Structure 1
Amino acid sequence: MNDHLDTLKRSLIGGQIDRRGFMTGALAFGVGLSMASSAYAQAEKATPKQGGTLRVGFLQGSTSDSFDPATYNNDFMFVTNYAVFNHLTEFAPGGAIAPELAESFEAEPGAKVWTFKLRKDVEFSDGRKLTAADVLASIDYHRGEDSKSAVKPVLAQIAEMKASDDHTVVFTLTTGNADFPYIFADYHLCIKQASDGKIDPMSRIGTGGYTVESFEPGVRIKLKRRDSYWKEGRAHFEQVEITTISDTAARMNALMTGQVDVVDRPDLKTIHLLKRAPGVRVETTSGTLHYTMPMHVNTPPYDNRDVRTALKLAINREELVEKILRGYGTVGNDHPVAKSMPFFDPAIEQRAYDPEKAKFHLKQAGLSSLDVQLFTSEAAFEGAVDASLLYAEQAKKAGINIEVVRQPSDGYWSNVWLVKPFCTSYWGGRPTPDWMFTAGYSKDAEWNDTKWQNERFNTLLLEARAEIDQNKRAEMYSEMQRLCRDDGGALIPMFGQYVFALRDQVQHGELSEQWNLDSLRFVERWWMA
């Protein structure tokens, strides 16, 4: 009976039958009227519908935000980007990489030459057709000599790219890379219109499902659905309004009182209030999210490996997961490769809280005690201030005195992260070790937030990318994880689940879990019931 109901639900959601057909079919299979009506209500809610206004309350957002894709550095702009623009590829539910503006992609043997075929039915919001010239110019913008784009190091593997016709782009890499299509799903690599081989980085004209009605950086953005959007079954909301509500209590209250429909990063200490609120539900997904405390290894005292090790040993990771994440996560081991990622090495010893061993490493550094400042803000991640204060208490047993310096949320990602030598941060993670290491740990990475330069690591990074033998590749990535853990400047105490809350009328299908909120694509994928 359940199989028959599931078949009818899929037919209803797919538009093959209507309510009469569903009820008739259910009754014919012997399903009672009450059960059939309940099953129809469930299926009807799960059927995407066009219309309505989605109101979103976000923790992040800065007055320095702009439409320059090289500068995107918070969820507000990441989500806006995916609503207004498209990319060559996207993350599908289940973590697979799927074509988006590309119709297909294919590698020659050795994965050094890749051919991307573009869709021919795509138009920008001003009516102009997408061509290969737009793709080349959009990607080239991040590769320029003066580019400060965080994705520049990832694109350094491209030796040559050219258009063989208006809808075909061919990439030749410096070495083979079987993971190459993944990088084009990155939120920086949106495709914008080209003019004389260049893009206007501030342009708001995209191929995405929405156009920009108004934009107040750090405050809100209003989006309107495009009637001519080329993607079938996407961009259901007529309008979308995203507002920065950096105060967590205010953000949660806005959801409970119906002022917004979706909020990110609820306060885990009081999440039980959301779970009890009528018309509200809390959802979680597991991805590669991790919370970090990067130390600049080119700045004293963090330039001393023993000092870095002492700081890593002076934190009680289990206590942070319990008290800060409320169990919505697992302990980290000072490298960014999540258990769900390929080539994660479970044989690497888990670093534990050991104040006495931390004292030993301080002594090795010629110190009997250590005084440092840790810069933090709730903008870094929900609970970052409490995590910093808890860490400061834990570290006292090792003779380490941590002064917690609170910073304003506005401007945190511009004025603190990458600037202060010891701060709190987070990474949404990346789907492959190569991408994660390249984006945040390689020598030329714009987002190398520890300033770490390890010659052996950087050699392995290039070798592992080109290695065809998967066993050898696994050995290389294992060594890289150990180098990060033992020599790197990233203290990574926790991996967390993505937690978000929404009102019951907001519905969605199977979620992509690479990043929060359906891999940041909820605006074009979700709908109002």
Structure 2
Amino acid sequence: MYDERFPGLRRRGFLAATTGAAALALVGCGSGTDDGDKADTGDGKPKKGGRLRAAFAGGGASETLDPHLANLFADVARAKALYDKLADYGPDLSAQPRLATRWEPDKTLDRWRITLREATFHDGRPVTAKDVLYSYRRIADPKQAFRAKASLEPIDLDASRATGERSIEFVLKRPTAEFPNILAAFGAYIVPENAGEATDFDQRPIGSGPFRFVSFTPGRSAVFRRYDAYWEGAPHLDELEFVVANEESARVNALLGGQVEYAHELNPTTARAHEGKGQIEIVRLRGSAMQAFCMKTDRAPFDDKRVREAFFLIADRQELVDGALSGAGVVGNDLFGKGYEYYADGLPQRAQDLDRARALLKQAGAEKLKVTLDTSAVAAGFTEAAGIFRDQAAKAGVTIDVKMGSKDSYWADILDNGTLCCYRSGAMPIEAHISQRLLTDSTTNATKWKHKDFDALYQQAQSTRDKTERAAVYERMQRRLYAEGGFLIWGFADWILGTARNLKGVEAKAPANTLDWARFDKVWLA
């Protein structure tokens, strides 16, 4: 089942641990450096050579290297090692050029001209406009269930065309000022023309990424080798091996035992136990996951904005971060995307105010309000957050009944059922959060926020060429959400990695699933 709250990823790849026996299969014992001249000299400069072994939770025998089917974190990390996108998200979730070196709109923002850089696939063929159009049309195939399909919906692919070997004119169905976000969409990787027909992605995948294919055993391991002709420069590593370890304890033990140098997805308790102890390094990717309570604005009691404001004021955000996230995060301010491009950081930080909350509930005729809060063990911290908020609400005279739901059906159920639920989301542009979750026709509108004037503001932003003017529109929208929206966003969780002490160059500033996350072409073994 997909987790719609974390774009591009299946739910299993988002959780802190998975069930079942861990399968840690290593295709070789070599790690670190190969000879004396590659040893660490202590100068901090990148060193060449060695095989890095990275442990991720996997998807079992159904795993694939088809980049358009990437859903788990492991899938995405493998895909970005083998393939490229036209753009990708920087630390602030703004679109950064990758295979596209330039994008330029016409005056009406419904036609965009894209220029490709000089890059080659692993078989030596140049990356061309035909490859890009083929890739996007493959993703958009109505017979397929590729993850990036919805992101590409604004493009009229029948009308779009190659205007040269390395130039494309994309024709859009509507003005789209944030078109570069589409180029950076999760799963929008570029494959060679006719790759779907000519290539078995799991046997001989050909991309333009920093590593080329060596071997792949679904549910166990994948081995890639440095691509010396990579357009951004060859990786420092000789080889990269992905190994599967579904249990967090298996990943940690493999790291501690020297079987891997990189362990993805650790929980805060593990991080606290090892941080600063010298045996391994703990890397915290800040701002990686929004933590929230979702109030359904189309039904009682949350169809009254005074009740929603009261709930904003009931929350003690620091207590929630400390208790539900074990302190591994920062407080939120009822707005998505803290630290991201267009974030309205000028709004005052909301604090608990129980007197004001009680007064608002009295005005709304809800002095002795009783409400059910749906939660589940589907995500780390959900059950803890529900219990903490229940106790906070009691101080304002609100009775919350915490209802535990099934991990298997939780994400599907909360979109339409209930009135209040635990919610989380991974990193994505603020514009994408608005378009996918807060418009009348959004497919994952969990708060049922449906306002035509709000929709009109989004269309105004998308039709505004000047970025400063567009940012002002986004701020207006966020001020509205801050005042009366349905997301009580109480925190932003760290994403936690563990690395061996000899692994260098791991980027700590990038949220999970952005460009600099899992950038194994930029790391080295000292």
Q: Same fold (TM over 0.5)?
A: yes
Question: What's the RMSD between the two structures over aligned residues?
Answer: 4.1
Equivalences for residues 26-41 of structure 1 within 5 A: 41=41
Q: Tell me, what secondary structure is at the counterpart of 2:190?
A: coil
Instruction: Provide the C-alpha distance between the structure 1 equivalents of 2:479 and 2:143, rounded to a whole number of angstroms.
Output: 33
Is the counterpart of residue 456 in structure 1 residue 447 in structure 2?
A: no
Relative to structure 1, the CA distance from residue 475 to residue 128 in structure 2 (aligned partners, 3 Å threshold; closer, same or farther) is closer
CA contact (8 A) 2:335 2:489 kept: yes
Relative to structure 1, the CA distance from residue 93 to residue 298 in structure 2 (aligned partners, 3 Å threshold; closer, same or farther) is closer
Aligned to 1:213: 215
Equivalences for residues 112-511 of structure 1 within 5 A: 112-123=110-121, 130-143=127-140, 151=148, 154-159=151-156, 160-173=159-172, 177=176, 179-195=178-194, 203-204=201-202, 205-207=205-207, 208=209, 209-211=211-213, 213-214=215-216, 216=218, 219-225=219-225, 227=227, 230-231=230-231, 232-234=233-235, 236-247=237-248, 249-287=249-287, 289-297=289-297, 305=305, 308-347=308-347, 350=350, 352=352, 354=354, 357=357, 360-361=360-361, 364=364, 368-377=368-377, 380=379, 382-397=380-395, 398-405=397-404, 407-408=406-407, 418=415, 421=418, 423-431=421-429, 433-470=430-467, 472-508=469-505
How big is each residue's C-alpha offset from its partner over 1:414-463, in whole Å with a ceiling of 9 and x where there is no partner? 656757655444323234x3233224333444444434322222111110
Instruction: Provide the C-alpha distance between the structure 1 equivalents of 2:355 and 2:183, rounded to a whole number of angstroms.
Output: 44
How big is each residue's C-alpha offset from its partner over 1:42-92, in whole Å with a ceiling of 9 and x where there is no partner? 33x53142321312244x868886667666554233323322321012346
How big is each residue's C-alpha offset from its partner over 1:259-295, in whole Å with a ceiling of 9 and x where there is no partner? 4322334332453321244431122343464223334
Offset, 1:357:
1.6
How big is each residue's C-alpha offset from its partner over 1:84-135, in whole Å with a ceiling of 9 and x where there is no partner? 3210123467877443222443445565532222245422x56665332331
Aligned to 1:51: 50
CA contact (8 A) 1:255 1:263 kept: yes
Letter in 1 for 2:319: E
Instruction: Provide the C-alpha distance between the structure 2 equivalents of 1:279 and 1:61, rounded to a whole number of angstroms.
Output: 29
Instruction: Provide the C-alpha distance between the structure 2 equivalents of 1:358 and 1:138, rounded to a whole number of angstroms.
Output: 55
Q: Tell me, what secondary structure is at the counterpart of 1:42?
A: coil
Relative to structure 1, the CA distance from residue 189 to residue 301 in structure 2 (aligned partners, 3 Å threshold; closer, same or farther) is farther
Instruction: Provide the C-alpha distance between the structure 2 equivalents of 1:99 and 1:343, rounded to a whole number of angstroms.
Output: 21
Offset, 1:338:
1.6
Instruction: Provide the C-alpha distance between the structure 1 equivalents of 2:198 and 2:368, rounded to a whole number of angstroms.
Output: 55
Offset, 1:476:
1.9
Relative to structure 1, the CA distance from residue 443 to residue 251 in structure 2 (aligned partners, 3 Å threshold; closer, same or farther) is farther
Instruction: Provide the C-alpha distance between the structure 1 equivalents of 2:47 and 2:373, rounded to a whole number of angstroms.
Output: 50
Instruction: Provide the C-alpha distance between the structure 2 equivalents of 1:69 and 1:365, rounded to a whole number of angstroms.
Output: 53
Relative to structure 1, the CA distance from residue 140 to residue 488 in structure 2 (aligned partners, 3 Å threshold; closer, same or farther) is farther
Offset, 1:526:
2.0
Q: Tell me, what secondary structure is at the counterpart of 1:338?
A: coil
Q: Tell me, what secondary structure is at the counterpart of 1:163?
A: strand
**94, 97, 100: which one pairs with 2:98?**
100
CA contact (8 A) 2:92 2:339 kept: no
Relative to structure 1, the CA distance from residue 202 to residue 118 in structure 2 (aligned partners, 3 Å threshold; closer, same or farther) is same
Letter in 1 for 2:361: H
- TM-score normalised by the chain length of structure 1: 0.75
Pairs aligned (count):
482
Offset, 1:297:
4.7
CA contact (8 A) 1:161 1:171 kept: yes
How big is each residue's C-alpha offset from its partner over 1:180-205, in whole Å with a ceiling of 9 and x where there is no partner? 32432232211234439x88999453
Relative to structure 1, the CA distance from residue 222 to residue 66 in structure 2 (aligned partners, 3 Å threshold; closer, same or farther) is closer
CA contact (8 A) 1:429 1:515 kept: yes
Letter in 1 for 2:246: I
Offset, 1:508:
1.1
Letter in 2 for 1:523: F
CA contact (8 A) 1:82 1:520 kept: no
**72, 75, 78: which one pairs with 1:77?**
75
Relative to structure 1, the CA distance from residue 338 to residue 299 in structure 2 (aligned partners, 3 Å threshold; closer, same or farther) is same
CA contact (8 A) 1:359 1:399 kept: no
Is the counterpart of residue 522 in structure 1 residue 519 in structure 2?
A: yes
- TM-score normalised by the chain length of structure 2: 0.76
Instruction: Provide the C-alpha distance between the structure 1 equivalents of 2:392 and 2:287, rounded to a whole number of angstroms.
Output: 28
Q: Tell me, what secondary structure is at the counterpart of 2:321?
A: helix
Q: Tell me, what secondary structure is at the counterpart of 1:41?
A: coil
CA contact (8 A) 1:337 1:344 kept: no
Aligned to 1:9: none
Letter in 2 for 1:211: F
Letter in 2 for 1:513: A
Instruction: Provide the C-alpha distance between the structure 2 equivalents of 1:76 and 1:386, rounded to a whole number of angstroms.
Output: 27
Letter in 2 for 1:293: F
Letter in 2 for 1:481: Q
Letter in 2 for 1:437: I
Offset, 1:358:
5.6
How big is each residue's C-alpha offset from its partner over 1:460-498, in whole Å with a ceiling of 9 and x where there is no partner? 111012224555434321221133334433221102344
Instruction: Provide the C-alpha distance between the structure 2 equivalents of 1:361 and 1:63, rounded to a whole number of angstroms.
Output: 53
How big is each residue's C-alpha offset from its partner over 1:350-389, in whole Å with a ceiling of 9 and x where there is no partner? 2535376268438726673323142222x53x43332232
Relative to structure 1, the CA distance from residue 277 to residue 334 in structure 2 (aligned partners, 3 Å threshold; closer, same or farther) is same
